[in-house]
Amino acid sequence: MPITLKSNRAFVAFSGGGAKGLIHVGALRALEDRNVVFQGIAGTSAGAIVAALRAAGFSSRELLDPDSDTSIIGQLHAIDPRINRVTDIFGRTGWARLRLFRWGSRHASLLKTIAIGIGIAEFVGLLCVGESRSWWMVCGALLISALLLWTARQSALVLIGGLADIRDFRDALATLLQHRMFPGTPGRVVTMGDFGRDGRPTLKIVSANLSECKLHLFSPERTPDVAVADAVAASICLPVIFQPWAIDQTIFVDGGIVSNLPAWPFDEERELDPEALTIAIAIADPTHTPVIGRFNWLPAAIRTALFGSGELNLRASGQSEQLELESRLELLDFDMTLDDARQEVRDGEAAAGVRLDKWLFRRPDLYRTLCKETRSLADEILTEALNNTAGRIRVAIALPDRDYHHSLRLEFSVGYEMDPDEGMLLPIEGSVIGAAWAKNESRFEVAPLPSNLDLPGDANRLRRKKVWPGLAWQLCIPISAQGSGSHLVVRIDGDAVFPTNGLVSEALEMLEKSVKELFDAVISELS
- Please identify which of the residues 88, 194, 230, 254 carries the catalytic annotation: 254
Nearest partner of 237 among 261, 224, 256, judged by Cα: 256
- Please identify which of the residues 45, 60, 309, 431 carries the catalytic annotation: 45
Residue 285 is a catalytic residue? no
How far is it, in rounded angstroms, from Cα 60 to Cα 71? 9
For the packed helices 23-33 and 46-55, what is the interaxial angle rounded to 10 degrees? 30
CA 292 to chain centroid: 27
How far is it, in rounded angstroms, from Cα 123 to Cα 148? 13
How far is it, in rounded angstroms, from Cα 308 to Cα 18? 14
- Do 297 and 290 form a contact (C-beta atoms < 8 A)? no
Residue 254 is a catalytic residue? yes
Number of H helices, E strands in the chain: 17, 14
How far is it, in rounded angstroms, from Cα 222 to Cα 325? 31
- Three-state SS for 391-418 is CCEEEEEEECCCCCCCEEEEEEEECCCC
How far is it, in rounded angstroms, from Cα 460 to Cα 443? 21
Strand residue runs (E) in 267-381: 277-284, 320-326
454 bridge partner residues: 431
- Give alpha helix (H) positions in 459-501: 461-466
Q: Which residues are catalytic?
A: 45, 254
